[in-house]
Amino acid sequence: MMFAPAPFLLKDTSVSQVMTQVCLALVPGIAAYAWLVGPAILIQLVVASFAALVAEAALLKLRGKPLAMFLSDGSAVVTAWLIALTFPPLAPWWLVATATVFAIVVAKHLYGGLGQNPFNPAMVAFAVCIVSFPALMAQWPSVGLQLPLVEQLNVIFGLSPRVDALSGATPLDAMKTALKLADGEIDVAHLLANQDLYGNFAGRGWEWVAAGYLLGGLWMWQRGIITWHVPVAFVASLVAVSGALWLYQPAHFASPLFHLLSGGAMLGAFFIATDPVSGCTTPRGKLIFGAGAGLLAYVIRVFGGYPDGVAFAVLLMNLCAPLIDYLCQPAIFGMKDKA
């Protein structure tokens, strides 16, 4: 067997190449999303991308940075796509644009730009908007709603007054609200069997969106864009806590499969919590980060006041990431006893 001579150098990978592959990995989930709700999500992706590039260019100009190099790295577009995918597809265009500009200007450039932000910019924007505009952030399309492109454009750009009539609760929010209002008189199995909102496993149709994100995440892992630590720890933690409560009281807690395929669990596990800048970098640190994010996401979505807890869970773990990495640094070679 023949081996190449030393030195053994890793393949040079640029930021733009990585970001391009992240966008490609999102395509299966976006395709399932567009099939489920129509072209509205594609419109929001365009709005968010345009707002991100404009805000990025303006801040680069103010900071005296070269526009071509930083605008072409793709980081602003990835942030924009994550914002568009976590916001309601029929949200007003200005809400998505404002959130994107806030993410780029405040959560990214005010901390020094790419590689300097301590928090995930897309999740900062989501958290700010769900606190500031809770009603607009709850306007998700009703089950089975199929609007033509013109109607969806009218809703997004404020030309149609039918937003309230078109919106409904997410499966996670509907499940939590129904169980609280029923006060023990209705169990989870009854809700899943008697409401069109839920499909075979989670929200009707949303299982395919989650499967698309899972497929894209596995492709990123296979390409070496992400490591297995954070996604596996996130999913294992979410399954462990939801499974324990489901086994303990199945009438009041949904199964682990429902939580994995509902909301932003798969998107969070593979595309949000794996952010190398705001997350942990050590192998053990990534495991702790992912497990903590999965646990907090479940606690917030089940016991908290918000329909999903992925964004707040990731932001809380971003706070802990420097300390986790500090405590999980491997010993320097030859210094194990002193470490």
Domain enclosing residue 152, as ranges: 16-168+181-325
The answer to whether residue 330 sits within a structural domain is no
| Residue 194 burial (C-beta neighbours within 10 Å; 0-12, 13-18, 19+) | exposed
The answer to whether residue 107 sits within a structural domain is yes
This prediction's pTM: 0.89
SS (H, E, C) the chain: CCCCCCCCCCCCCCHHHHHHHHHHHHHHHHHHHHHHHCCHHHHHHHHHHHHHHHHHHHHHHHHCCCHHHHHCCCHHHHHHHHHHHHCCCCCCHHHHHHHHHHHHHHHHHHHCCCCCCCCCHHHHHHHHHHHHCCCHHHCEECCCCCCCHHHHHHHHCCCCCCHHHHEECCHHHHHHHHHHHHCCCCCHHHHHHHCCCECCCCECCHHHHHHHHHHHHHHHHHHCCCCCHHHHHHHHHHHHHHHHHHHHCCCCCCCHHHHHHCCCHHHHHHHHCCCCCCCCCCHHHHHHHHHHHHHHHHHHHHHCCCCCCHHHHHHHHHHHHHHHHHHCCCCCCCCCCCC
Range picked from 10-14, 193-197, 199-203, 299-303 for highest mean pLDDT? 299-303
Tens digit of each residue's pLDDT (9 = 90 or more) over 154-164: 888 887 655 55
Tens digit of each residue's pLDDT (9 = 90 or more) over 192-236: 665 666 666 676 778 899 999 999 999 999 999 999 999 999 999
Structure tokens at 137: 């952030």
Tens digit of each residue's pLDDT (9 = 90 or more) over 79-110: 999 999 999 998 999 999 999 999 999 999 99
Q: How far apart are CA 200 and CA 258, in angstroms?
A: 9
The answer to whether residue 161 sits within a structural domain is yes
The answer to whether residue 131 sits within a structural domain is yes
Q: What is the CATH number of the domain that holds 306?
A: 1.10.3430
The answer to whether residue 214 sits within a structural domain is yes
The answer to whether residue 336 sits within a structural domain is no
Residue of 205, 207, 177, 212 whose CA lies nearest to 191: 177
Q: How far apart are CA 48 and CA 101, in angstroms?
A: 9
The answer to whether residue 338 sits within a structural domain is no
Give residue 75's pLDDT.
Answer: 92
* Mean pLDDT within 304-326: 93
Number of domains, the chain: 1
The answer to whether residue 42 sits within a structural domain is yes
